[in-house]
Structure 1
Amino acid sequence: MTAGVLFSSLVVFLILNVPVGIAIGLACVVTILSFGMLSDLYVAQTLVTATDSFPIMAIPLFILAGDLMGAGGVSRRILAVANAFFGRVTGGLAIVTVVVCMFFAAVSGSGPATVAAVGSMVIPTMLQAGYSKSFILGLVAAAGSIGVIIPPSIPMVLYGVTTGTSITNMFLGGILPGLLIGFLLIIYAYFYSRKMGWKGSDGRFNGPHTLALIWEAKWALLNPVIILGGIYAGVFTPTEAAAVAAVYAFICGVVIHRELKPRDIFKTIARSCATTGTVMVILGCASTFARILTIERIPSTIADLMLQLSLEPFALLLLILVLLLLIGCVMDTTPAILVLAPILYPVVTAVGIDPVHFGVIMVVSLAIGFITPPLGINLFVAARIGNTSLGTVIHGVVPFVIVMILALLIITFVPSLSLLPISFFN
């Protein structure tokens, strides 16, 4: 009965177009008032206690680091280097777009931030080169979703905090899956560009010019090396790495590149604060939601029911994939992880699936939700920066959704992709 009121009220609020975080909080309030199981102040208390966590501090810091990177000229320099290497290949600009999104993912941890930062630079250039708008926007939206898979990743931090899984191991587990997705997107972009006759830029490879671009972008290229290298070498924790990333991005933008002016600093911080505020409200309300589920033993009941089906791990994973893909269409990654991870975690661990492997599966599945309607936040960001309709973006993104689902299946049923880097570093 409690679960019915909790989930039905959440659905009602979402249908009424209430923001996701507020909808989750109101559903919790309705349930608490209906059954009197907890204090009326419980939601307010959890908003504070759920965010009062050292690992959670990584989220606002990575958000700030990503915004500072975009405003400080880091993205533009990375784009120039990638273009020097791949620009002459058939579909060169499309390949460059994916490569830059992968690189930016290694410093931002956010899908929409990656779409906004990279898309604003490559879309005008690709349009001038004759690429179709729907293809460009679909590519940018899909490649931007890699931002939550290649470490550092905000959803992976949330999964680690929610389930007690090592965040460092989650970051390690996301490296090869993120590279695989990027590689498959590049393969499709190459053959589709070849079919459409979209050639690369003219001219031969210019070694001295390329070396000059690399030298100019050296501080930008060092960023992921410092952040990820420091984490994996044990120099600092993922949370401390987020602080290092923010400080490093600030120094690059203000002192080294000198493109981050005082007025830009305040605008960037304000934008980061707005994003962080939204995420923290969702986090606090979703934590209340999860605690109510736990009090009512709903996760353990669902786990028992799924285990009673006596499904093989292969079939169980397929069932969970379908569930996650459907949830990703209607719910943002953050609340989806906070609500579903406590429910699904005991199910998969009971049948011997590695927690890190499942965490990567969960993040990749929900990342596909960035490019599937009706929620599909990357679709809205791409439509806005491309100054076009949502339908145009959806038309262009369909093939990339298929490519990413193929990648998801490979990641799911080849566990070594997620677990090999962990065994190497440990």
Structure 2
Amino acid sequence: MSLVLVLVFLAALIAGAPIAVALGLASGVAIIAFDLPIHVLAQRAVNALDSTPLLAVPLFILAASLLNAIGVTTHIFDLVRLVVGRIRGAVAQVSILVSLIFSGVSGAALADIGALGKIQIDQMTGQGYRKSFAAGITIAAATIGPIFPPSIPIIIYASVTNVSAVQLLVAGIVPALIITFFLMAQVAVMARLYDLPRDTVSPSLRAVAKKAVISFPALLAPVLLIGGLLSGYFGPTEVAGVTVAYALAIGFGIYRTLTWRAVWESLRETVEATSGILFIVSTAAVFAWVLTLDQVPARAGAFLLGLSDNPFVLLLLVNILLLIVGMFLESIAAILIIAPIVAPALHAAGVDPLQLGIVFVLNLMIGLLTPPVGMSLYMVSIVAKMPVHSVIRGVLPFFIPLILSLLVVSAVPAVSTWLPKLITQ
């Protein structure tokens, strides 16, 4: 049964079917071919969406869209440029830091690229950076978004594996800071090797203070979100709703750049993005049910535990698997299909569920940088109006800090588990 399921799924993908259609079609063929109850298709699809944590997904998408419409990204970018100053490679360093700050409201790598990509690339190329380098650092920095809370992939992983969404979101804070550090270190090395340009801004205390006042409401959005999660007063859904309300308040009441037309456009974008994500969630749930019925998770778990009972070795094996899978499968689909198969086995071997969740998502975010299905590559190609092969050439050096970050998160459980455990004591 599983063989038929996988073969139909792969055939549909090769034929060019969208991932959600391929998952649903394969599941339907397997259910009919093996005389399973056909009503399960609708039942499982609907039940998969009956999840409180998933309510946060459209709200985070809406919050990011509203804040982008307000123009907070420009204010944050200008402030960070003034703070960083005229060091060599400054604008590249600013791009990384702004991606970290904006990740506190976006929740997705592609949202970061959509909101920041053109600003980042134009600033760097305007100062003499190679366009391929500018595209590469933009893509690499966008991987921070789905690790730092809020994170749509982490929320979906938590709902699939029955892990606390709040704890898993908090678990991403330290790994995101580690990724930021390694990326900035890579840029610092490349700045010296390739004589990268210095920024043209003239920072002064007065200029920084003035821009800080203007940017303060924008900077308060991620602080509000993270503070709500850390305090325990809000869950992911509540904090997403508060962030949307805050975005509307500062858009209409403080910056006064938000219009009802922009709100309508943000709502439309949210519906489009959410429908695509939830379509994948629903069809993947049926796909996973067929795999479970054929005892694939149990057999996969027994196979993994038969290879080794060392948690680190098992994590390395899963890393290799996910890096390969990330080249071919969209990240949310990969989480929904593979997490229910491998997570029980690794939990049984002693791998902390929070550590596994971060390792899982980070692997798949690196997959966004790898052809042939790396969505970040194609999105930056559109934003920067450059061929995909040039984008790939630009991102290659940044695999070094990303893989180093992945190894640190895999080898040191405390990187992911320390902060969630600290706030629950």
Q: TM-score band, normalised by the shorter chain?
A: over 0.9
Distance (Å, rounded) in 2 between the aligned partners of 1:144 and 1:366: 13
- Report the equivalent of 1:172: 170
Report how far residue 6 of structure 1 moved: 0.9
Report how far residue 7 of structure 1 moved: 0.9
Report how far residue 204 of structure 1 moved: 5.4
Distance (Å, rounded) in 1 between the aligned partners of 2:143 and 2:25: 29
Do the aligned partners of 1:87 and 1:93 also contact (CA within 8 Å) in 2? no
Q: 3-state SS of the aligned residue for 1:198?
A: coil
Report how far residue 311 of structure 1 moved: 4.4
Q: TM (normalized to structure 2)?
A: 0.97
> Cα deviation per residue 1:185-224 (whole Å; 9 max; x = unaligned)?
1111122122222232246541111011111011111111
Q: CA RMSD in A?
A: 1.3
Unaligned runs of 5+ in 1: none
Report how far residue 234 of structure 1 moved: 1.6
Letter of the structure 2 residue corresponding to residue 279 of structure 1:
I
> Cα deviation per residue 1:155-196 (whole Å; 9 max; x = unaligned)?
111111111111111011101111111111111112212222
- Report the equivalent of 1:254: 252
Among residues 243, 262, 280, which one is paired with 1:245 in the alignment?
A: 243
In structure 2, do the counterparts of structure 1 residues 342 and 407 end up closer, same or farther at CA, with 3 Å as the change threshold?
A: same
Q: TM (normalized to structure 1)?
A: 0.97
Quick check: 1:381 aligned with 2:371? no
Report how far residue 415 of structure 1 moved: 1.0
Q: 3-state SS of the aligned residue for 1:50?
A: helix
Report how far residue 87 of structure 1 moved: 3.6
- Report the equivalent of 1:21: 20
- Report the equivalent of 2:121: 123
Distance (Å, rounded) in 2 between the aligned partners of 1:342 and 1:47: 16
Distance (Å, rounded) in 2 between the aligned partners of 1:68 and 1:194: 38
Q: 3-state SS of the aligned residue for 1:260?
A: coil
Distance (Å, rounded) in 2 between the aligned partners of 1:182 and 1:349: 28
Distance (Å, rounded) in 2 between the aligned partners of 1:215 and 1:161: 39
Distance (Å, rounded) in 1 between the aligned partners of 2:202 and 2:69: 31
Letter of the structure 2 residue corresponding to residue 182 of structure 1:
T
> Which region of structure 1 is more displaced relative to structure 2, 287-296 or 345-354?
287-296
Distance (Å, rounded) in 1 between the aligned partners of 2:37 and 2:302: 26
Aligned pairs for 1:149-298 (under 5 A) are 149-202=147-200, 205-298=203-296
> Cα deviation per residue 1:90-141 (whole Å; 9 max; x = unaligned)?
1000000000011111111010010111112121121110000000001101
Letter of the structure 1 residue corresponding to residue 344 of structure 2:
P
Distance (Å, rounded) in 1 between the aligned partners of 2:302 and 2:201: 63
Q: 3-state SS of the aligned residue for 2:145?
A: helix
- Report the equivalent of 2:338: 340
- Report the equivalent of 1:42: 40
Letter of the structure 1 residue corresponding to residue 180 of structure 2:
G
Letter of the structure 2 residue corresponding to residue 208 of structure 1:
R
Distance (Å, rounded) in 2 between the aligned partners of 1:17 and 1:204: 51
Report how far residue 62 of structure 1 moved: 0.6
Distance (Å, rounded) in 1 between the aligned partners of 2:387 and 2:197: 27
> Which region of structure 1 is more displaced relative to structure 2, 396-405 or 308-317?
308-317
Distance (Å, rounded) in 2 between the aligned partners of 1:120 and 1:272: 21
Do the aligned partners of 1:159 and 1:337 also contact (CA within 8 Å) in 2? yes
Do the aligned partners of 2:60 and 2:244 also contact (CA within 8 Å) in 1? yes
Distance (Å, rounded) in 2 between the aligned partners of 1:206 and 1:425: 38
- Report the equivalent of 2:352: 354
Do the aligned partners of 1:5 and 1:31 also contact (CA within 8 Å) in 2? yes
Aligned pairs for 1:294-333 (under 5 A) are 294-333=292-331
Do the aligned partners of 1:145 and 1:378 also contact (CA within 8 Å) in 2? no
Do the aligned partners of 1:111 and 1:145 also contact (CA within 8 Å) in 2? yes
Aligned pairs for 1:96-115 (under 5 A) are 96-115=94-113
